Amino acid sequence: MVSFARLRRPAAVPVAVCLLAATGLVAADLLDLLPRPTLLRAGFTFVGAVVALLVFFASRGDRPDIERRLPPGHTTRAIVALAAGAVVVTALSGSRLLAFAAVLPLGLGAVALQLRGEPYVPAVLTQLCALFLAGRLGKYVTTGFYFGGTDTFAHVTAVDTLARTRYTTAIPHGYDLYPVFHFLVGAVRYATGLPAYDALVLTGCVLLTAVVPIAYLLGWTVFDSRRMGLLAALSVTVLEFFSYHALYFYPQALASILILGALYLNSRLRHAADERTFRRLSVFVVALLTTMVVTHHLTYILFAAVATVAVPVALVRPYLFGGSLGDGVRWLRYRWLFPGVLGAVFMLVYWSYSPSLITVGIVELTAGVLFDVATVPGSVLYTYGTALPVDTLDRAVAWLLTPTGLYACGLGALLLLAGYELLDDLRAYRRGFTLTVAGLGLSALLLPLPIPIPQIERLKFVVSLVAIFPVAVGLRRTLAVDRQYAAVAVVLVAAIGGATAFTVLASDDLSETYIEEPREQVSMTDDQFRATRTTASFLDRYGAGRTATDRVTNRAFETSRFNATEPLRAGPRGLDTDATYLVVRERWTGHVVALGTGLARSEQNRFVVSRPRFEAADATRGKVYTTDDVRVYYGTDGHSGMYGDNRTTPQ
């Protein structure tokens, strides 16, 4: 039986949260604040609250005593073999869904079972690294040229340009001022002989896998507990942004890894036993800060916002543990804060000599919006000959059963459990309290929000760096259930970890793993990518006029040093452009197509086109170049009414 003596006052909190979640959803429905299918999707909050309630009452908060445990050596060999086998099966079959849907939950379940006992640290870390890396390699071997949010095209171009010219000034898009990422990938390309794309992705896979042991070291140092260190490592495999950016690897991902390293060094500084150790660590910190400044400036601005949230928690912390607010102020001495201060100074000095146009643009736009002298234009999605799925209650229920829905429920439950655990046994988290509470407050941003916020993914990735702490606390409480509920806890952890690998974000190339409207294209086959490059070469050599195309195709053109400079516009009557050449691709059908990268309203618009309209237009337009996937239309007076003109649409 569960002992209720331990629960006392915190026992009422999980019940109150469940009632609050249910009441809030019902009230929002009665007040008609959101469409009913949207509210039903938001039901993941109630499901997560119920799961957290059940786990809370089924657990004692103490480490259970397990008489038997899995042999670490045999278990490690078995999991590594299964992970490697899943990659091989995926490469041979061309699909990773079934292989990893079986291996990942099985492997993570075994890890969870070991963490209920007395885990052997090297074995568990090896298993977690194998599972994380295998999942990323499975996606790598099945997606051809995976470009995610399209920045991969630019970075492949930059690495090739750097290798060709040997000058950082030739790196495009302002990254000549922040070249560390391209130096690293270029070094891997040079050492291995791999193409730039493969060097970039494999570097990301290896470095994001290295986050697993880094999280262990950080958790061990922050909480002063090896078990919490292992749970922090397990949290990396549970949070989807680490999985996503292992393949969509770009400078912010590298900068985030450096931030984790800086957090670890700073935690070691705070607990340095002697002056010699403090000075030695300080040298490493200064070297790391210097590297960070020329890696990705925006990441550190975003992380400064996260650090700002942690400051009031640090000030209040001593008061909660029997001290005074003055004790909190003493912890904010320069001796402990100098890494952040030096980092800010280095960055400001560097900006004064090499200002970032991206940062200037963000500041100008933000100031314009705040003072009502500028607005962020909205986008319109035009449907040419096709209709988007109607959002129904059935689709909402189906969404809750997808990996994305299960992930949202599981992550919400873990975060609530972290809060309950802090209330139940606050003194057990005297070490790590600041990062845990700050991470817990910010982690709400990682849950699905009913309102889309542009570029919030950049902030979410930075928040994930501190979310590992509350998630680790939630996992600790989950795995501390009584013996009779052990199987349920292990299955829960395995299900959450398995779902993470197949959410919309981490598995956006597998349309069968989510139920939403058509999404923008995120990958090309090798043949499709090759076709865009040959098309770019043709236009560069023979094109006698300006060219227009969509955003993805134009980013692919950049890898061949060609650029379509004329804008393409989407409107109620179809696509319009003044360009002589219009480049279209068959992959436009079945995907949402984005037009441009500027802030003009016409460049923010998107469209979807049906195959019948695409084929009807293709049969009537004059083509000067064609491949299996790409068409180049020629028109001396430009192109108008594409896909929306009834003359090109079968009736």
Question: In the structure, how many helices (H) and strands (E) does the chain have?
Answer: 26, 12
Q: Are strands 145-146 and 523-524 parallel, antiparallel or unpaired?
A: antiparallel
Residue found by looking up tokens 């990254």 in the block: 175
Please spell the DSSP secondary structure of 601-645, one letter per residue: HHHH-EEEE-HHHHHHHHHHS-EEEE-SSEEEEE-TT-EEEETTS
**CA angle, corner 615, sides to 614 and 619, nearest 5?**
120
How many CB atoms neighbour CB 631 within 10 A?
Answer: 19
Residues 6+ apart with CB under 8 A from 530: none
Q: What is the dihedral of CA 307, 309, 311, 317, to 10 degrees?
A: -130
Residue whose entry in the numeric block shows the structure tokens 């970039």 = 200
Which residue bears the tokens 């922040």?
Answer: 178
Judge whether 70 and 492 are in contact, CB under 8 Å: no
Dihedral over Cα of 266, 268, 273, 279: its sign:
negative
pTM of the model: 0.90
Listed residue (522, 531, 518, 520) closest to 557, CA to CA: 531
22-39 CB burial, b ≥16 within 10 A, e <16: eeebeebeeeeebeebeb
Cα separation of 331 and 341, whole Å?
Answer: 15
- What is the SS3 assignment for 292-328? HHCCCHHHHHHHHHHHHHHHHHHHHHHHHCCCCHHHH
Q: What is the mean pLDDT of each run of 10 residues along the chain (651 residues)?
A: 46 89 91 88 93 89 58 93 96 93 95 91 96 96 91 93 88 84 95 95 97 95 92 96 94 91 82 74 78 80 82 80 58 62 70 58 50 57 86 89 94 95 87 91 87 73 94 94 88 94 89 79 92 93 91 92 89 91 93 74 77 91 90 91 60 28
Closest to 278 (Cα-Cα) out of 265, 286, 269: 269
**Is the sign of the CA dihedral 71, 72, 77, 83 positive or negative?**
positive
Longest CA span, the chain: 83
Q: What is the pLDDT of residue 518?
A: 80
Please report which residue ranges of 448-590 form alpha helices under DSSP H. 456-478, 486-500, 526-542, 551-558
CB-CB contact of 309 with 438 (8 Å): yes
Phi-psi region of 641 (alpha: psi -120 to 50; beta: other; left: phi over 0): left
Comparing C-alpha atoms, which of 455, 479, 124, 135 is closest to residue 298?
455
The answer to whether 35 touches 391, Cβ cutoff 8 Å, is: yes
